[in-house]
A and B are shown apart, each in its own frame.
Chain A
Amino acid sequence: MMKKLLPLLLCLLLLTGCAPKPESLDIFAMDTYMSLVAVGDEAFDALQKSANIVNSLEQAMSRTIDSSDVAQLNATGSAALRYDTAVLLEEAIALSEATLGSFDVTIAPLVALWNISGDNPRVPAQEEIDALLPLVGSEHIHLSDGSASLDEGCAIDLGGIAKGFASDRIAQLYHESDLSGGFVSLGGNVYVHGENTDGEKWNVAIQHPEVSGGYACMLSLTDAFVVTSGGYQRFFTAEDGTVYQHILDPATGAPAASDLLSVSIILPYDADKLHGAMADAYSTALYVMGEAAACDFWAGQQNFDMVLVTRDGRVLYTPNLIDHFTEVEDSGYDYQVLTA
């Protein structure tokens, strides 16, 4: 009896011993808080390499690190670009054109003027805004053989796309590593890889924009990017009580007067595309567009999925998500599937 039992117990030990524990890493970088998890034989290495990726991108793309490509470009009007900066800037211009300017990295002078995410936010005079608006537009960026130049007075801010790009690079690393699963959460930019620790798809909750700690919906996903933009967390309240959220409309130079509370873009991992960066840029752009234009944009493209939370209490989502989407009973929202 014991001789039969012993091999069984050893097998049990092997089974449990082989199951790798999740490794996690939390860091402050790229002006956000990042949480990374990896499961698998190469989890520890993957996280260390991920941290190196983030650090490298921050050194290249930060507006506030003097030696970065972006800081150099903004300060002198031209700069030689590291490979990743050149790739991302080219992608940013393409996404700006695709969204008809609703996403635009040349919004930087107006971001600095309002300084909503900074130490001293203020409401500028309309004349100040009008003076800077001509500097906004991707036509002011000129790329050439690994270097870039800007028209006089212009500046760029890759903050609306660099974290998505970082998730692209980490997703690629996760795919090249021996991992059964993992995720990265880079301040509103999420990428889920493989299976969760229960061997199932990852349960991704989209935050309720109006209820602290609540969820608007749940998505069951694997090998996918989810990026959410909204104005409900980062804002400032002026002396007269007016609330100004931080996402600026490149067309007006003022905080977007959106009829949406949040926009989430969902895209699958594709080794040949920068879907993390695309989801990051689209989430901002569609928030700026508002419900009607965002729905038209999706119907015209149909190469991404989205979840919109509207100010009047509806959650709209694209039909491809039906099998991955779970409503939240007590959210107070009316759920509707979009049709093209």
Chain B
Amino acid sequence: MTTKCSPPELRPKKLDILVAAVVLVLAVVVAVGFYGPKLGQSDHLTAVISVGEEVIERVDLATLKEDKLLTVEGECTLNVLLSNSGAEVILSDCPTQDCVHTGHISRAGQSIVCLPGQVVIHLEGASDEGAPDIVVG
């Protein structure tokens, strides 16, 4: 006499599908979270303005309808011109004027630093192919 084993239940249950869906969503979210933003970059060129170690303003430059003049009060006072193409310190009452000498910055990863004012204007996002990881100079 032979007995016939019944096959295991192979058809997915609703719970299997739910678990799979959650795992998939989590995997995608984590992957996008890691590979998407490179050191906090977004799609748009964004000016991040810091005084000391505190970020005081983030401006999405791509969405600016017209140039924006920003007065930044740190240890010194800086007038920062923001436009679709980048950022520039046009006036500063700091003694060294290094921030003014830096001129216009336009690419993600570039910064203007005012040491006496403890002000940093850093560009993020809109990374282009072959963009450097670090600029030295």
By the criterion CB–CB under 8 Å, are B115 and A204 in contact?
no
Are A2 and B12 also in contact (CB < 8 A) when A13-B27, A213-B110 are? yes
CB distance from A94 to the nearest CB of B (A): 25
B89 CB to closest chain A CB, in angstroms? 11
Q: Which of A147-155, A222-230, A269-277, A298-306 binds B?
A: A222-230
A119 touches B95 (CB 8 A): yes
Q: List the A residue with the shortest CB-CB distance to B96.
A: A117
Would you call A213 and B136 a contact (CB within 8 A)?
no
Nearest CB of chain B from residue A332's CB, rounded to whole Å: 16
Q: How many A-B residue pairs have CB under 8 A?
A: 130
Q: Which of A137-145, A189-197, A284-292 contacts B (4 or more CB under 8 A)?
A: A189-197
For B27, B52, B95, which residue has the most chain A Cβ atoms within 10 angstroms?
Answer: B27
Given contacts A3-B10, A203-B133, A204-B133, contact A9 B120 (CB under 8 A): no
| A9 close to B107 (CB less than 8 A) | no
| B136 touching A264, Cβ below 8 Å | yes
Q: Does B23 contact A (CB under 8 A)?
A: yes
Bound CA span A117–B133, Å: 28
Whether A82 sits at the interface, judged by CB under 8 Å, is no
CB distance from A123 to the nearest CB of B (A): 16
B135 — which chain A residues lie within 8 A by C-beta? 204-207, 215
Q: How far is the CB of B71 from chain A (nearest CB, A)?
A: 21
Which B residues lie at the A interface, using CB under 8 A? 10, 12, 16-17, 19-20, 23-24, 26-27, 30-31, 33-34, 38-40, 50, 52-53, 86, 88, 95-98, 101-107, 110-111, 113, 115, 118, 120, 130-137
A-B contact pairs, 6 of them (CB 8 A): A21-B34, A33-B111, A192-B134, A205-B134, A215-B135, A228-B136
Interface residues of A (CB under 8 A from B): 1-3, 5-6, 9-10, 12-13, 16-17, 19, 21-22, 24, 26-28, 31-33, 35, 37, 117-120, 183, 185, 188-190, 192, 196-198, 202-209, 212-213, 215, 218, 226-228, 230, 232-236, 262, 264
